Amino acid sequence: MLKPSLTALLLFAAPGIARADTIVLAGGCFWGMEATFEHVKGVTNVVSGYAGGSAGDATYDLVSAEKTDHAEAIRVTYDPAKVSLGDLLGVYFLVAHDPTQLNRQTPDEGRSYRSAVFPQNAQQRTFVEAYITTLNAKPVFRGRIVTKIESGPFYPAEAYHQDFMRKNPRHPYILRWDVPKVNKLKVTYPALFKG
C-alpha cells in the first residue's frame, strides 16, 4: 500500500495555522482506531464514539445496524507542541485504516464504517483537504482515496467500548485486526510510538 520512500514526504507539519487540540476521525471499527492513536506520543486522550448523525440515535445498536447517519469514530485530543496535525493524519491514512475502501474496513461493511474526517475548525478543514490532495497526487495507494471531509457533532460511545483493546487484549477481533495496526505504527512511525 505505502511506498516506504514516500513516508518522509507525507510527514509534513501544519506550519502557520492555529491548531486545535482535537480532531475526529472515522475509519472502520473504533476499537482499532482508538488503540492505534493511544500509542501515539503527544496524544493525551482518545474516545470512541459516533459522528455524523444526531444525538437521539448515537447508540451502538442503531449505528451497527446501519439505521443512522453516524460513522464509528474517535475523538483524538493531542498536544500540538508534541505531535502535529500532519503526523496524526499520517498515522490515520497510512496505519490506522485503508482510506481507499468505500463504506467498509476489512471485515466490517456499511456506511457506519466509512472513512471520514470531521475537522473541528476551518483551518483543520483546509489542512486536511490539502493533505488528501497531496496523497492523491502521489502514487501512495493502489486506489484513490475515498475519505470524505464531514461536519457534525461527536457523541461518546457506551462505556464498554472505551479502551476496548486494553481491557480485552485476547479478544479474537482485536488479535486479528487491531494488534497488527499497533505493530504497524511501531514500525512505520517509531519516533511517534509510545508503548
Active site residues: 29
**Contacts for 181-185: CB closer than 8 Å, 24+ residues apart:** 181/32, 181/35, 181/36, 181/95, 181/96, 182/35, 182/36, 182/39, 184/95, 185/36, 185/39, 185/40, 185/91, 185/95, 185/96
The answer to whether 96 and 25 have CB atoms below 8 angstroms apart is yes
Q: Say which residues have a Cβ less than 8 Å from residue 38's Cβ, sequence separation at least 6.
A: 46, 163, 166
Q: Say which residues have a Cβ less than 8 Å from residue 166's Cβ, sequence separation at least 6.
A: 35, 38
CA distance 114 to 107: 13
The answer to whether 127 and 20 have CB atoms below 8 angstroms apart is no
CA distance 69 to 54: 8
